[in-house]
Amino acid sequence: MPEIRPEIRIDKKIFEQYPTFRRGIVVARNIDNQGHSRELENILNEAVAQAARQPIDLKEDPRITVWLAAHRQFSSNPNKFPPAHCALLKRVQKPGVQLPLINRVVAIMNINSIRDIIPVGGDDVIRAAGSLELRYSDGSESFTPLGNPDHTEQPVAGEVIYVVPESKEVMCRRWNWRNGHKTRIADDTQVIVMNIDGLGADSEARSIATRDRVAQMLEAYCQAEVARTLLSPSQPSYLLDI
């Protein structure tokens, strides 16, 4: 039998409800995510310091408000369950805050999310063990929150989830609110898919610009082999070669 290749895909209903949505994709293989990087730590510290020096209005900036509106559209309260990049910006805009360098890949995610005020997330493809799909939940899926491997819960029917359809294991709840434990990016991670989500005005240009910087940084600081693409209404899926 021919080998079945996993794919990344976005359900057409997502694009129907959010026509400006674009997802920049970086697939990175043979990652070196081991050890500390003083250079990445300095870049992360500078991104955090810059955010504190020049804070944005988290209630008015369109790069934030477009996501708050999107969450309300699928009946999620963004005040209670904020998009991760909104929560990150709120945290680092306070003077004196520092973010730990968890590992190289996570640092690259945080740096670019802070710099460009855009959701940047990623998952360990080997641990996912299937395809990666952004779609609406039917309520039957299971989710184990990051850092809490002994707890399992179900998403609310109708919320936007990022899920492995073969196993129904959710990698991220409420679109970009909370990551799952199983597909977390760890020091021994070898293959990842990084998602850079654009929504609203200039969504395609913004997601591509951040995507390309993410790819360059993964090459430079993790010695990764990278491939890039963009998911859109005209290209809602991408076959993975891992």
Q: Is residue 216 situated within a structural domain?
A: yes
Question: What's the rounded Cα separation, in Å, for the pair 76 and 86?
Answer: 15
Q: Tens digit of pLDDT per residue, the chain (242 long)?
A: 456 689 999 999 999 999 999 999 999 999 999 999 999 999 999 999 999 999 999 999 999 999 999 999 999 999 999 999 999 999 999 989 999 999 999 999 999 999 999 999 999 999 999 999 999 999 999 999 999 999 999 999 999 999 999 999 999 999 999 999 999 999 999 999 999 999 999 999 999 999 999 999 999 999 999 999 999 999 999 999 87
Tokens matching residue 63: 């790069």
In the numeric block, which tokens belong to residue 233?
A: 């209404």
241 part of a folded domain? no
Please tell me the total count of domains within the chain. 1
In a domain, 220, yes or no: yes
Exposed, middle or buried by CB within 10 Å (0-12, 13-18, 19+), for 13?
A: exposed
In a domain, 174, yes or no: yes
> Residue 125: which residues within 8 A CB-CB, separation 6 or more?
6, 27, 132, 183, 191, 192, 193, 240, 242
- CA 209 to CA 228: how far, in whole Å? 12
Residue 94: give its domain's CATH number: 3.50.40.10
Residue 2 located in a structural domain: no
Question: What is the residue range of 103's domain?
Answer: 7-233
Strand partners, 229: 25
Closest CA to 47 of 137, 149, 120, 127: 120
